[in-house]
Structure 1
Amino acid sequence: MGKAVWRRIAILAECECNITLPTTTERTQIVEMFTAVRENVTPPASHMNMLSYSNEMQKVAADWVSKCLFWYPNFNAINMILQDTKDFQNHFQTASFYANQAKNYNYDNNTCKGNCRYYKLMVWENSTEVGCAYNECPGKNNKKE
């Protein structure tokens, strides 16, 4: 049998607050929001994995945002969504914005007309976990080390 590939999504947000982790209710809402987007892909998915909230992915996200580096790290088998926001509650609106990127995605040839990177991460059929963290990053560092 072939080697299974699992994808994980760590959602990172820089905001004007100390490192904050989602509450139990917010974790449930995040998974429900991602699941709703994943259940409505066109064409319908035939092998979509179930998504669950991961404390491990939350730790990856928290460790990364604690550094206040606004660029994408190169983690093996972990995809990241990095969002700059002033309101950590805004992450639900942000995820809706990413879901709207579906209109830019062409399934037949796997291309984007405009930006659809985050939508593709949300609906990747092999994704199995999601985790989130938020941090205040005044004077954020945009330079890659």
Structure 2
Amino acid sequence: MVEHFALVLGRKPNHSRGVGIRAVNRVGEEMIKLREQIEALDQRAAAAQERAEVAEQRAQAAEQCAQVMEAQVCAMVQSNAQLQEEQQSQRDELNSLRDTQSGEVARLVRQQLDQQMADFLTRINSFLQPSSNGQIS
């Protein structure tokens, strides 16, 4: 008879001769709940791990960007320093040319003034010298 019950009802875990044992069923239910909780926690942990990996990748990308930018800033600083040196050199050269030019201009002005003075004195002398007819021109 027991075998017939077993054939008709089938064998179920935590059941004896088709009759469930409550304590065993509760433990099974709690184990199922705990397994579900463990699976949910595992899924959360996997998701958190994935987010952490993404954040790590972003941090590495940001660090690489920062290194590239730092290299660019260094290159710009060096370029700026070279340009400032060239600009100072050009300023010095311009100041030298100005000094030379102003000295040259002063020399030319003196020379022209001397020439004008010489011409003026020549005119004065020609007026002061008596002409061939005895009159002052």
Give the TM-score, by structure 1 length: 0.15
Q: Greater helix percent: which structure?
A: 2
Q: Select the structure with the greater relative contact order (CA < 8 A; seq sep ≥ 6).
A: 1
Provide TM-score, normalisation by structure 2.
0.16
Structure number with greater Rg is 2
